[in-house]
């Protein structure tokens, strides 16, 4: 981004800079935490409701996809922009 809040594009491709990537990672981390928390609570509530104890289920998460960076396109560094 050249200015805060202004996106930089090259050939209709949004170029992701380090600051934008950091913000996105923080937001995704918060969302992931909330989803895992709600799932864990639901599993515990279900286990209690059907009287099977406190281990009603397990929440497992991780990064199961890896993106490949675009690199340089026509002399423009696409920084952290990539595709899987």
Q: What is the pLDDT of residue 2?
A: 47
Tokens of 48: 């209690």
Tokens of 81: 């922009």
Q: Which stretches of the chain drop beneath a pLDDT of 50?
A: 1-2
pTM of the model: 0.66
Q: What is the pLDDT of residue 10?
A: 79
C-alpha 67/C-alpha 16 separation (Å) is 13
Q: What is the pLDDT of residue 31?
A: 96
DSSP state of 41: H
Residue 81 host element (H or E): none
Q: What is the pLDDT of residue 27?
A: 95
Cβ of 62: how many Cβ atoms within 10 Å?
Answer: 5
Q: What is the sign of the dihedral through the CA atoms of 11, 13, 18 and 19?
A: positive
How long is the chain? 84
Do 19 and 5 form a contact (C-beta atoms < 8 A)? no
């Amino acid at each position: 981004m050249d200015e805060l809040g202004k996106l930089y594009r090259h050939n209709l491709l949004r170029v992701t800079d380090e600051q934008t990537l950091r913000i996105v990672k923080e937001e995704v981390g918060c969302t992931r935490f909330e989803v895992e928390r709600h799932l864990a609570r639901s599993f515990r509530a279900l286990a209690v409701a059907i009287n099977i104890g406190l281990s009603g289920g397990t929440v497992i998460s991780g990064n199961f996809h890896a993106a490949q960076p675009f690199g340089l396109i026509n002399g423009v560094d696409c920084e952290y922009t990539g595709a899987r």
